[in-house]
């Protein structure tokens, strides 16, 4: 299916990025990934996602690799990470994770994965590792390309865009900082915020969602499974109570229960679980 040139290209790309080679290369072969979804334990169907930059339909937007100044608009680290997590090697990945956000006719959102480290205790070999730095850089590249030349990089301008959540929405207060002494010098470090995006949760759009361009790194395009997405879109979910009096007061008074409650907005009442996933 892959010519040796394509493989060599993927290889040199992975090497030139200094990505963790074994895992990046293992994932570099696939052009698509699939997710088998169950609703309350009943098989509901499959999502098939073409990966960006892998010679698949995902590249057939106005954003062709040759027209862009930089290959990082095709998010090689983000794509390799997404493929690796879909493969669920050693149980590190999307199998048994949930679809826990459903905004009707707009977007479905996965819960992300709980662990990025394999059981051998070595530092994460998942492309991008346990920080979102590489993904953040690739998101920057997509944003820069699109602001210079709209449509020259992938973006959330259609149904079926698939992207990793990398940043918090604009307007999120900056993380708390504290001073620590390192080698006798005081430096400011940011307190990691609980629940901050870690580049594992992904979304599938059901319509253009341009506001996601600010936070999400596009890594692919939904090729098959539109009916499944439409069916998920119809599931009853807990509502967004941002406008409720309780929520407004809680939020205004800094009541932490407001933030806790917000995590449950759009959560389906049924259990929507990825029961199997992998590369194609
Ligand atoms: C990543 O974030 C998701 C969503 O907040 C969370 O469920 C998951 O446990 C996190 N995983 C890691 C490895 O931090
Ligand atoms: C809920 O709706 C408000 C507008 O009413 C919006 O600003 C907010 O982002 C929504 N919450 C979530 C979690 O999407």
Instruction: Name the closest-CA residue to atom 6, ligand 2.
Output: 242
For residue range 129-147, list pLDDT tens digits in order. Answer: 888 999 999 999 999 999 9
For residue range 146-205, list pLDDT tens digits in order. Answer: 999 999 999 999 999 999 999 998 887 777 888 888 888 888 888 777 778 999 999 999
Q: How far apart are the first and last CA of the chain?
A: 11
Going by pLDDT thresholds of 50, 70 and 90, the confidence category of residue 56 is: low
Cα of 171 vs its chain's centroid, Å:
20
Nearest ligand to the C-alpha of residue 114? Answer: 1
Residues 47-73, mean pLDDT to the nearest whole number: 70
Note if the pTM is more than 0.75: yes
For ligand 1, the distance from its centroid to the CA atom of residue 102, given in whole angstroms, is: 18
Residues 47-62, mean pLDDT to the nearest whole number: 78
Instruction: Name the closest-CA residue to atom 11, ligand 2.
Output: 240
* Per-residue confidence (pLDDT) for residue 22, from 0 to 100: 47
Closest to 62 measured CA to CA, from 161, 152, 156, 162: 152
Nearest ligand to the C-alpha of residue 172? Answer: 2
Among 215, 240, 243, 260, the mutation site with the greatest number of ligand 2 atoms within 8 A of its Cβ is: 240
Residues 41-46, mean pLDDT to the nearest whole number: 98
For ligand 1, the distance from its centroid to the CA atom of residue 115, given in whole angstroms, is: 7
Which tokens in the block code for residue 217? 């790194």
For ligand 2, the distance from its centroid to the CA atom of residue 242, given in whole angstroms, is: 6
Going by pLDDT thresholds of 50, 70 and 90, the confidence category of residue 54 is: confident
For residue range 202-221, list pLDDT tens digits in order. Answer: 999 999 999 999 999 999 99
Which tokens in the block code for residue 26? 């293992």
Nearest ligand to the C-alpha of residue 195? Answer: 1
Q: Is 86 a residue whose pLDDT tops 80?
A: yes
- Neighbour count for residue 130 (Cβ, 10 Å): 14
């Amino acid at each position: 299916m892959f010519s040796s040139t394509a493989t060599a290209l993927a290889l040199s790309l992975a090497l030139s990025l200094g990505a963790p080679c074994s895992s990046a290369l293992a994932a570099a072969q696939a052009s698509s990934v699939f997710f088998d979804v169950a609703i309350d334990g009943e098989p509901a169907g499959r999502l098939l996602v073409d990966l960006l930059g892998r010679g698949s339909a995902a590249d057939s937007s106005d954003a062709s690799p040759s027209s862009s100044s930089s290959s990082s608009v095709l998010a090689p680290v983000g794509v390799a990470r997404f493929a690796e997590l879909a493969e669920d090697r050693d149980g590190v990945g999307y199998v048994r994770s949930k679809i826990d956000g459903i905004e009707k006719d707009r977007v479905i959102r996965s819960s992300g994965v709980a662990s990025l480290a394999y059981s051998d205790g070595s530092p994460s070999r998942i492309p991008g590792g346990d920080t979102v730095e590489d993904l953040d850089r690739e998101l920057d590249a997509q944003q820069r390309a699109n602001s210079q030349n709209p449509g020259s990089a992938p973006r959330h301008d259609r149904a079926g865009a698939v992207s990793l959540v990398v940043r918090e929405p604009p307007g999120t207060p900056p993380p708390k900082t504290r001073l620590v002494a390192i080698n006798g010098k005081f430096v400011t470090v940011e307190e990691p915020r609980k629940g901050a995006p870690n580049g594992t949760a992904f979304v599938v759009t059901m319509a253009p969602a341009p506001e996601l361009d600010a936070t999400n790194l596009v890594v692919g395009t939904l090729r098959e499974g539109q009916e499944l997405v439409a069916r998920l879109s119809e599931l009853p979910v807990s509502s967004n109570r941002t406008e409720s009096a309780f929520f407004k007061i809680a939020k205004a008074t800094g009541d932490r229960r407001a933030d806790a409650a917000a995590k449950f907005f759009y959560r389906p009442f049924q259990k929507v679980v990825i029961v199997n996933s992998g590369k194609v």
